[in-house]
């Protein structure tokens, strides 16, 4: 039972690891790595949902009748693009924060802002 759904357990584990890192880490780059793991877990969730037991890739071939559902895969391609755009923008922000504040540690930025 548990092993049958192992991919969903992996999703939950990754999601929690990512979410934890976003909240706990003080380093802005590490936060983003956490955020990315969090997003990736959702991608795996969608891909797992689309898999049909015994199904093959949805390409018309003689003698095959059972296909996996391609729609979640297509959706997640879009979400991956969104994820990359988010990460790129976030890293660009971190570079500019480093230039402006001289640090990428949340604590130190807060201290500088309070002065």
Partner 1 sequence: MVHLPVLQVVIPLMAAPALLLLNRPWQSWLLTCVVTITAFAISGSLLGTVYSSGTISYELGGWEPPWGIEYRIDLLSAYVLLIVSGVAALVAVASRQGLDADVASDKQPTLYVLFCLCLAGLLGIVATGDLFNVFVFLEISSLSTYALIAMGPHRRALWASYQYLVVGTIGATFLLIGIGFIYSLTGTLNMQDIAARLPLVDAAHTVHTAFAFIVVGVCLKLALFPLHFWLPNAYTYAPSMVTVFLAATATKVAVYLLIRLHYSIFGPNFALDVLPLNTLFLVLGLAGVFAASLVAVQQPNVKRLFAYSSIAQIGYMIVGLGLGTVIGLQATLLHLFNHALMKGALFMAIAGVVYRVGGSDLAHFAGLGRLMPWTMAAILIGGLSLIGVPLTVGFISKWYLVLGALEAGLWPIAGLVLIASVLALFYVWRIVEVAYFEAPTSLTEGAREAPLGMLLATWVLVGANIFFGIDTELTRQTSELAAQHLMGVQP
Q: Between the CA atoms of 89, 95, 97 and 102, what dihedral angle is there, to the nearest 10 degrees? A: 170
The residues pairing with 50 across neighbouring beta strands, listed in sequence order, are none
Instruction: Write down the least CB distance from residue 48 to partner 1, Å.
Output: 9
CA 72 to chain centre: 15
Give the span between the Cα atoms of 103 and 34, in whole angstroms: 19
| Closer CB to partner 1, 13 or 93, in the complex | 93
Query: What's the closest the beta carbon of residue 61 comes to partner 1, in angstroms?
Result: 23
Q: Which is nearer to partner 1, 39 or 61 (CB)?
A: 39
Name the DSSP class of 32: H
In angstroms, how far is the first alpha carbon of the chain from the final one?
Answer: 57
Whole-angstrom Cα distance, residue 56 to residue 88?
A: 34
Residues that bind partner 1 (CB under 8 A): 19, 22, 28, 31, 35, 38-39, 42, 45-46, 49, 71-72, 75, 78-79, 82, 85-86, 89-90, 93-94, 96-97, 100-101, 109, 113
Closest contact distance (angstroms) between CB of 94 and partner 1 is 7
**Which lies closer to partner 1 via its Cβ, residue 57 or residue 82?**
82
| Closest CB to partner 1 among residues 10, 109 | 109
């Amino acid at each position: 039972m548990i092993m049958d759904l192992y991919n969903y357990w992996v999703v939950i584990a990754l999601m929690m690891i990512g979410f934890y890192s976003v909240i706990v880490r003080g380093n802005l780059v590490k936060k983003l790595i956490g955020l990315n793991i969090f997003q990736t877990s959702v991608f795996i969730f969608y891909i797992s949902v689309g898999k049909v037991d015994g199904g093959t890739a949805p390409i018309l071939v003689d003698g095959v009748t059972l296909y996996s559902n391609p729609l979640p895969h297509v959706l997640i391609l879009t979400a991956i693009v969104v994820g990359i755009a988010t990460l790129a923008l976030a890293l660009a922000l971190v570079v500019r924060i480093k230039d402006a504040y001289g640090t990428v540690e949340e604590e130190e930025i807060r201290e500088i802002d309070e002065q």
